[in-house]
Amino acid sequence: MGRAPLEIFDEKQANTIDQLEVGQRIRGQIRFALQVPDLKASIERLLSNGTIHVHQPVVTPWGDYNVRLQDPEGIQVTLFQAAEQ
């Protein structure tokens, strides 16, 4: 899938990220964030395998293109394409 940074957030930072990506706080203990070279292709691939959109893609304040998805087990995944791509 791509690079996967380890991000550990307190409640305040988790709220900030959820507000940016989804527009509201979504509870959950674990969320994966994976950098991908082609966001559109990665979204299509995951959606065709049972993943659902939590929110449509957004551009973050730092210029990355992010989308929030949820796998069939309920785990949320953020895919992002770096700004320079």
pTM over 0.85: no
> For residue 1, is it within any domain?
no
Domain that holds residue 18: 11-81
Distance CA 57, CA 66 (A): 5
> For residue 28, is it within any domain?
yes
Q: Give 51-74 pLDDT, tens digit per residue.
A: 999 999 999 998 999 999 999 988
Q: How many domains does the chain have?
A: 1
> For residue 2, is it within any domain?
no
Residue 52: CATH number of its domain: 3.10.180.10
Question: Residue 14: is its pLDDT beyond 90?
Answer: no
pLDDT in the model for residue 21: 84
- For 59, the 3-state DSSP assignment is strand
Between these two residues, 21 and 40, which has the higher pLDDT value?
A: 40
